[in-house]
Structure formats: structure tokens, C-alpha cells
């Protein structure tokens, strides 16, 4: 699978470790930045990861910032991105299985390296079930995106 990975300065070190881990799992990794620890704005990298997924350059994305909250909020502004902030393995795989989550977000100042690897592993191994109830709910999410007042006029 092709994976886009990105972070702000707070997630830079963890991003490098997770990119190596993802490659060890046998996936192709595209690092969309940042490329050092100089302060940057997390929305830029949320956009870069999200656009890589939306444009078909990657099947899924991994996004890291200090808490994970800001990057998650920013990524979810892109229509078609379903980013979930995860701190437990159940949410990391269930978000894909039930909600077709295509970006996992982690907070580098909230969790450690080993848990981050477990979360990313669970996210990447998971498959969307496509069950009727999950499709129905996903279609309702898409309808919300299509009718968002912020997207009109």
C-alpha cells in the first residue's frame, strides 16, 4: 500500500520512526514534510497528506502533530478525508473497518513511539467491511460534506 506521512515540527522525530516502521511493514512511504524541527503550521501538512490521499498518490495517510488535535481538525476540512485521532488500537482499526477512515492522526506529545507503531500497524492492517450499515453511515457523512454551509456560496 502507498502511504503518505506528514507532520509539523512537534511530530518530526516520530514521523521518521513511523516512516521506517511502515516501510518495514512492506508499504511504500511518501514523506510530505516537514523535514526538520523548525516551527511550521500543522494545517499545511494536514493538507499535504490529505491531498496525497485524495489525488490517488497514496491509499492512506499518517499525520502527526503535538497533540494530534489540530492536525485532525485541519485534515477533516478536506472533503473526502476521514481522519481520526487515535490513542488506542481499537479505534485505529475500527475507524477503518466501520468508518472507512483514510488518515490516522497521532499526537507525538501524548503517546510514545511503541504505541504509535501499534496504532499505525492496526490502522494499516484494517480493511473497510463495506457492510450495509457502515455504507449507510458513510453515505450520511458524505451527505453532510455535500451540504456543508461552509462549502456553499
> What positions carry a catalytic annotation?
65, 98
- Counted residue by residue, the chain has a size of 153
- In sequence order, which residues have a C-beta less than 8 Å from that of residue 89 and are 6 or more positions away? 118, 119, 122
Contact yes or no for 108/45 (Cβ under 8 A): no
Instruction: Cell numbers for 17, please give them.
Output: 520512526
Amino acid at each position: 500500500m502507498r502511504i503518505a506521512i506528514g507532520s509539523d515540527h512537534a511530530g518530526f522525530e516520530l514521523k521518521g520512526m513511523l516512516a521506517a516502521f511502515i516501510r518495514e511493514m512492506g508499504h511504500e512511504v511518501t514523506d510530505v514534510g516537514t523535514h526538520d524541527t523548525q516551527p511550521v503550521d500543522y494545517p499545511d501538512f494536514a493538507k499535504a497528506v490529505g491531498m496525497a490521499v485524495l489525488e490517488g498518490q497514496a491509499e492512506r495517510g499518517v499525520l502527526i502533530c503535538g497533540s494530534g488535535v489540530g492536525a485532525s481538525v485541519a485534515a477533516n476540512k478536506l472533503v473526502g478525508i476521514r481522519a481520526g485521532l487515535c490513542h488506542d488500537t481499537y479505534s485505529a482499526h475500527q475507524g477503518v473497518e466501520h468508518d472507512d477512515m483514510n488518515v490516522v492522526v497521532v499526537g507525538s506529545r501524548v503517546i510514545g513511539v511503541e504505541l504509535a507503531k501499534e496504532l499505525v500497524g492496526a490502522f494499516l492492517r484494517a480493511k473497510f467491511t463495506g457492510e450495509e450499515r457502515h455504507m449507510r453511515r458513510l453515505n450520511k457523512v458524505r451527505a453532510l460534506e455535500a451540504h456543508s454551509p461552509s462549502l456553499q456560496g
